[in-house]
Amino acid sequence: MTDAQWLSKTETDAWTAYVAATHLLERRVEEQLKASGLTHAQYEILTKLSVSTGRRLRMTELARQVVVSKSGITYQIRQLEKRGLVERTTHPSDDRGVLAVLTEEGVRCLERTSPGHVAVVRACLIDRLTPDELQIMTRIMTKAAEAMTSAAGRRLGAPIPARPTEPSSLTWGG
């Protein structure tokens, strides 16, 4: 372990601030979503489906977009199915393909949940940054995500099953 390149004071400060902020923001988001009986992962699934053509996505594509494993997406979809928010169906042109489909109840759940979610995201992050800072944050996080999803990045740790998608104009927030 003597060959480790330790973090400088500046690097440690940046890392510590990032970890604290992301954990606190995630906690606030989870608290807000709990009132609707959703986890952050489930909310992400519903938002991805809501902006997809026909409110449906192939399960493998949904897992890629939400950045979870196939088994992780299957578990979350099962939980959402129990609540009637999502249903699974066979892909019309590929009998082996399974689609996750947002139901009307899922749309209503998003309509009820999203205003509070967006308010938390705004209050805790978005409204605290200038437009320039938001652009910088987007570039930084995109660069980090690309490094972790590249072949070299996957060799550094456990494989991440997805490449990040381009930032979108989701009205639901993420």
Closest by CA to 73, choosing from 110, 48, 93, 109, is 48
Q: What is the pTM of this model?
A: 0.81
Residue 4 has pLDDT above 80, yes or no: yes
Q: Is pLDDT larger for residue 96 or for residue 46?
A: 46
Q: What pLDDT is attached to residue 156?
A: 56
Q: What pLDDT is attached to residue 166?
A: 42
CATH code at 11-128: 1.10.10.10
Q: What pLDDT is attached to residue 91?
A: 82
Closest by CA to 112, choosing from 14, 11, 7, 36, is 36
Mean residue pLDDT across the chain: 88
Q: Is pLDDT larger for residue 35 or for residue 103?
A: 103
Report the relative pairing of strands 86-91 and 94-102 from DSSP bridges: antiparallel
3-state secondary structure of 96: strand
Confidence band, pLDDT 50/70/90 cuts, at residue 165: very low
Residue labelled with tokens 């999502």: 86
Confidence band, pLDDT 50/70/90 cuts, at residue 95: confident
Tell me the mean pLDDT in the region 154-173: 47
Q: What pLDDT is attached to residue 71?
A: 94
